[in-house]
């Protein structure tokens, strides 16, 4: 069964956290799809992942024609064109199905009441469906701690 993780962002924005999580996923040999809430957000994340750090490179793409070749693919849809093992759901994108992935990570802004309410609803739906979901929150040092 798919492992579902909820990441509660409070201390750092998505742009500060997502690149490191993508890097760790790639280090594990996983292919990744990142689903954002809009095409504009996909394009903003695309630009950010090219420039977030001078000394590293995070291979990724948004072009449907080369999607199958990308280790990380950014999209606003629920597609999995690169046969990803892990799916990150960010910026209020709909959770949709979690089947077909080893891991699904829902990242939500803890300072946004609507995002918190949507995450709670997704949590309840997944738990009611029998999925194993865990909840993670950053501590004062910026490290992730499992809370539930």
Predicted confidence (pLDDT) per residue in 92-138, tens digit: 999 888 999 999 999 999 999 999 999 999 999 999 988 889 999 98
Predicted confidence (pLDDT) per residue in 51-95, tens digit: 888 887 789 999 888 999 999 999 999 999 999 999 999 999 998
14-27 and 39-51 helices, crossing angle to 10°: 70
**What residue spans of the chain are helical by DSSP H?**
14-27, 39-51, 113-128
- How many structural domains are present in the chain? 1
Could you give the CA distance from residue 89 to residue 83 in angstroms, rounded to a whole number? 16
Domain membership of residue 23 as a residue range: 3-146
CATH code for the domain in which residue 30 is found: 3.40.50.10110
Could you give the CA distance from residue 104 to residue 21 in angstroms, rounded to a whole number? 12
Unique residue bearing structure tokens 């539930």? 148
More confident site: 50 or 86: 86
């Amino acid at each position: 069964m798919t492992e579902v993780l909820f990441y509660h962002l409070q201390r750092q924005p998505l742009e500060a956290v997502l690149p490191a999580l993508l890097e760790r996923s790639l280090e594990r040999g996983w292919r990744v799809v990142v689903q954002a809430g809009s095409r504009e957000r996909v394009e903003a994340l695309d630009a950010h992942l090219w420039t977030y750090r001078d000394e590293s490179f995070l291979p990724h793409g948004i072009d449907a024609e080369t999607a199958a070749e990308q280790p990380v693919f950014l999209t606003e849809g629920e597609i999995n064109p690169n046969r990803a093992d892990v799916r990150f759901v960010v910026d209020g994108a709909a959770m949709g199905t979690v089947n077909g992935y080893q891991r699904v990570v829902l990242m939500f802004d803890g300072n946004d009441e609507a995002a918190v309410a949507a995450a709670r609803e997704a949590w309840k739906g997944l738990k009611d469906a029998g999925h194993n979901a865990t909840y993670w929150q950053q501590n004062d040092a910026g490290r992730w701690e499992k809370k539930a």
